[in-house]
Structure 1
Amino acid sequence: MRCLVFPSPADVIQAVADRIADRLQAQPDLSLGLATGRTMVPLYAELLGRSLNWQHCRIFALDEYWGLATDHPSSFAAELRQRFCQPAGLRPEQVQFLNGAALDPAQESQRYRRCLEQAGGLDLQLLGLGENGHLAFNEPGSARESRVRLVQLSDRTRQQNAGAFGGDPEAVPSAALSLGLADILEARELLWLVTGASKTKILAQALQPPPTTAIPASYLQEHPATTLYADHAAAAALTVDQS
């Protein structure tokens, strides 16, 4: 893993946007996995402010709340459409979302897995870090071999995501569809964005070998092309080589 540490979150965003721009220009049909969350909001704004051609790329959403249709205003699909896909001029056929309103979560998981396989896998996946070490919605205890599936969300994760539901953790869905750890680790390159003092402790724990199911994000240590982009606040407790 390569660890890059920057003075501020804004510097992190600039560096990640530079990397995505370089990859897109080198490979216009890039398969790009998108994440949601506060860390990603300024990144999508930065990408939209650049003169980039998105017309040949393919987009895959990382996860989605179970029980929310893709047009629900609090769904991740709606957020990604509003913040990036529509302003970037992406056509509907370029974008794949998990359907949180599907009748059968197992069938929907299998459908999404087939879409990934038909696309030849992900070239580049964006990732954040949950305060309990979750990666996408792979909560503590998730197996390294896990695939796209329905996941029960922890109370801590629901509290962390309550802002999109009027600040009420009880209004946050109790389950979500998510790429599994195995799906994520099969992406050819991973860009891991971690900023803020609230992530200092868990980031340091996630980088301590060996990987453990107690901290799903720790399995990123195994990926040969992961780059951590952290600000000084998040990286304050790191003892790894920051190069």
Structure 2
Amino acid sequence: MEVVIAPADQLAVLAAEAIDKLVRATPTAVVGLATGSSPLKVYDELVRRHTEEGLSFAQAKAFMLDEYVGIAEDHPERYRNVIEKEIASRVDFAPGAVQGPDGNAEDLVAACADYERKIVDAGGVDLQILGIGTDGHIAFNEPGSSLASRTRIKTLTAQTREDNARFFGDDLAQVPQHCLTQGLATIMSAKHLVLLASGKGKAEAVHQLVEGPVSAMWPATIMQMHPHATVLVDDAAASRLQLGDYYRQTFLSKPEWQGL
């Protein structure tokens, strides 16, 4: 696992650069997209590269991490609509190239299995963007999630719903209680994981992710078992890391050609 500690704007550029290199080298690449506040600057940088530097997603595919269950299809916080607004409509993905789990399906179990098949049929995710919750969840794999889990329905914890209430006008009652989410094993099947976190509120989760034991109580810790995982954090999010100075030294000493 590589840990990079830098200002949030620089972290966004690093993540976007990794996607840029991937898509230019392999135009048919598959990218995993996350919602939340962490990836927004990454998407802005990708849009800039598309507009100003010719970065094209015309042959690429993308898969979303998760979706609320039972939320209206035209709701602005439906994750499919968020992804459309923040990235998909701002670059040149082909129609149907960006897919997400169907949180309004009549048979949610079948919808989850179908989503897993679609990812496999696409050749798997080449680079997955991730955020992390204050309780250590990635996607909507809440504490206690099976480390071998696949796409499934989950009940959101009270903490996650409180954290997400800001997207619903601070009205907790409007936050859905259930979601469909890629499982931890699904996420771990991606070839490269890139997680971004900023702010002191994420410091304990980042500490557990990087330096704690692998545990279902902190689901993101499964990333320690991945052969190519990158953790991009600002100083505040890195404030609990015991080896912070070493991570800074390591990044500054990297060969220029290496990349993330």
Same fold per superposition (TM over 0.5): yes
Contact 1:158 1:170 in 2 (8 A): no
Give the aligned partner of residue 133 of structure 2. Answer: 130
Q: Secondary structure at the match of 1:136?
A: coil
TM-score normalised by L of structure 1: 0.96
Is structure 2 residue 20 aligned with structure 1 residue 21?
yes
Contact 1:123 1:187 in 2 (8 A): yes
Is structure 2 residue 47 aligned with structure 1 residue 48?
yes
1:60 deviates by: 0.3
Contact 1:70 1:97 in 2 (8 A): no
Superposition map of 1:49-64 within 5 A: 49-50=48-49, 51=53, 52-64=55-67
Superposition map of 1:117-156 within 5 A: 117-156=120-159
Distance (Å, rounded) in 1 between the aligned partners of 2:152 and 2:109: 7
1:93 deviates by: 2.1
Distance (Å, rounded) in 2 between the aligned partners of 1:71 and 1:120: 30
Superposition map of 1:191-230 within 5 A: 191-230=194-233
The alignment covers a number of residue pairs equal to 242
Distance (Å, rounded) in 2 between the aligned partners of 1:85 and 1:37: 15
* Cα distance per residue 1:172-222 (max 9 Å; x no partner): 000100000000001000001111111112211222342000000011110
Q: Which runs of 4+ in 1 moved over 6 A?
A: none
The residue type paired with residue 30 of structure 1 is: A
Contact 1:122 1:186 in 2 (8 A): yes
The residue type paired with residue 18 of structure 2 is: R
1:47 deviates by: 0.7
TM-score normalised by L of structure 2: 0.90
Consecutive unaligned residues in structure 1, runs of 5 or more: none
* Cα distance per residue 1:10-39 (max 9 Å; x no partner): 111111111111111111111000000011
1:69 deviates by: 4.6
Superposition map of 1:56-205 within 5 A: 56-205=59-208
Q: Secondary structure at the match of 1:132?
A: coil
The residue type paired with residue 204 of structure 1 is: H
Mark the CA change 1:224 to 1:112 in structure 2 (over 3 Å): closer, same or farther. same
The residue type paired with residue 58 of structure 2 is: Q
Identity rate of aligned residues, in percent?
36
Contact 2:211 2:241 in 1 (8 A): no
Q: Secondary structure at the match of 1:239?
A: coil
Q: Secondary structure at the match of 1:161?
A: helix
Consecutive unaligned residues in structure 2, runs of 5 or more: 251-260
* Cα distance per residue 1:110-167 (max 9 Å; x no partner): 1101101101111110000001111100000001110000000001000111122111
The residue type paired with residue 30 of structure 2 is: S
Q: Secondary structure at the match of 1:228?
A: strand
Distance (Å, rounded) in 2 between the aligned partners of 1:130 and 1:139: 9
Contact 2:207 2:238 in 1 (8 A): yes
Distance (Å, rounded) in 2 between the aligned partners of 1:144 and 1:234: 24
Distance (Å, rounded) in 2 between the aligned partners of 1:84 and 1:207: 29
The residue type paired with residue 3 of structure 1 is: V
Contact 2:28 2:60 in 1 (8 A): yes
Q: Which moves more between the two structures, 114-123 or 205-214? A: 205-214
The residue type paired with residue 14 of structure 1 is: V
Q: Which moves more between the two structures, 72-81 or 202-211? A: 202-211
Distance (Å, rounded) in 1 between the aligned partners of 2:41 and 2:120: 30
